């Protein structure tokens, strides 16, 4: 098997961060980045399961690559974790690698090439996470040396009723704060001036491990010399506390752009979604941001057509959008 690779990424910023880690793993194992899919010996599809349409789109692309090329096809990400061996049985993929295992992709491919052994890697053992905070790899220069995705948590504890993430990415795991700060320092040494801290809900950082809370981690990262901008994604209105706003206000390097998903303006629908906050709680967060950070920007996510939503519920969401005047909104029709 040849030693060139191509990665196509679907879905969220978490997947973009995972794709960066897979690229580092592959290059450490001796693979070279191909100029495109047509010249790659290994094609990696890092997939998403957040909506059925996302899976359908990814499957169509993978099957197109299967028809057109003889490359080794690797399916990673949330859809890989959800569908597992089905992707092998129907001939869609040659290897299936879940999110816990993807940072070891170079090692897994080497083992497969050597003995043709296991082809499905779906373990959710937290011990497999060491490769995600690898200070030695952080300093490597790549195509976008000025920006790095830095995953600080994996998994989620919220269990929103519409969301598959806790089932395919597992429960919350926070990476050690000292390791994260060292990683960011190495990123800066490698040329990065901007980083984005990633988690399904960054506000819950440290709750599983007894480490420092998110606002203290954010402050430590913001104080790394040479770093010009710190972003973070995503926050949850339930636990977006004043301590976080205070750190943003006190550190000029922390972005004033806050992504705060509302999902619905109806308390009844929010309860059906198991979001654990009310519109009044969300409004209190926005009011505190307005008072403390007059130059801030807020983006949001909205779901319409949630099962049981009425015309009155929908109108309440429209009223909330008019009230909060979001700078950006990502709107989706409910998908099972």
In the chain, DSSP assigns E strands to 4-9, 32-33, 42-47, 72-77, 95-97, 120-121, 147-151, 153-154, 173-174, 194-198, 229-233, 257-259, 297-304, 328-333
pLDDT of 115 above 80: no
pLDDT of 266 above 60: yes
Condensed to tens digits (0 to 9), the pLDDT of residues 14-47 reads 888 889 889 988 998 999 999 888 899 999 999 9
Q: How would residue 110 be classed by pLDDT, with cut points 50, 70 and 90? A: confident
Distance of alpha carbon 190 from alpha carbon 73, whole angstroms: 31
Domains and CATH numbers, the chain: 4-121 (3.40.50.12160), 133-255 (3.30.750.210), 257-336 (3.30.750.200)
pLDDT of 302 above 90: yes
Residue 67 is predicted with a pLDDT of 76
| Strand (E) or helix (H) holding 323 | helix 311-324
Buried b / exposed e over 134-162, threshold 16 CB at 10 Å, is: bbebbbbeeeeeeebbbbbbbbbebebeb
The mean pLDDT of 207-225, rounded to a whole number, is 97
Residue 249 is predicted with a pLDDT of 97
Q: Which of 168-172, 174-178, 196-200, 218-222 has the highest mean pLDDT?
A: 218-222
């Amino acid at each position: 098997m040849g030693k060139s690779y191509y990665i196509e990424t679907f879905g969220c910023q978490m997947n973009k961060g995972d794709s960066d880690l897979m690229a580092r793993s592959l290059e450490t194992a001796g693979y070279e980045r191909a100029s495109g899919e047509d010249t790659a010996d290994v094609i990696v599809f890092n997939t998403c399961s957040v909506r059925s349409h996302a899976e359908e789109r990814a499957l169509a692309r993978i099957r197109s690559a299967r028809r057109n090329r003889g490359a080794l096809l690797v399916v990673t990400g949330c859809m890989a974790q959800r569908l597992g061996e089905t992707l092998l049985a129907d001939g869609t993929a040659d290897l299936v690698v879940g999110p816990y295992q993807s940072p070891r992709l170079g090692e897994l491919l080497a083992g497969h090439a050597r003995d043709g052994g296991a082809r499905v890697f779906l373990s959710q053992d937290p011990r497999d996470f060491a490769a995600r905070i690898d200070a030695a790899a952080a300093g490597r220069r790549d195509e976008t040396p000025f920006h790095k995705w830095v995953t600080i948590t994996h998994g989620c504890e919220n269990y929103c009723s519409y969301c598959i993430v806790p089932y395919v990415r597992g429960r919350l795991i926070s990476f050690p704060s000292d390791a994260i700060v060292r990683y960011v320092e190495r990123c800066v040494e490698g040329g990065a001036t901007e980083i984005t801290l990633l988690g399904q809900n960054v506000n819950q950082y440290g709750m599983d491990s007894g480490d420092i809370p998110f606002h203290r981690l954010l402050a430590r990262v913001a104080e790394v010399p040479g770093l010009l901008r710190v972003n973070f994604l995503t926050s949850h209105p339930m636990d977006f506390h004043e301590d976080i706003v205070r750190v943003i206000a006190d550190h000029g390097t922390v972005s004033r752009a806050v992504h705060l998903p509302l999902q619905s303006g109806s308390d009844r629908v929010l309860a059906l979604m198991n979001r654990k906050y009310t519109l009044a709680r969300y409004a209190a967060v926005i009011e505190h941001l307005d008072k403390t950070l007059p130059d801030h920007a807020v983006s949001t996510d909205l779901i319409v057509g949630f099962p049981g939503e009425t015309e009155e519920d929908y109108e309440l969401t429209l009223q909330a959008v008019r009230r909060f005047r979001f700078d950006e909104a990502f709107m989706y029709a409910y998908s099972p």
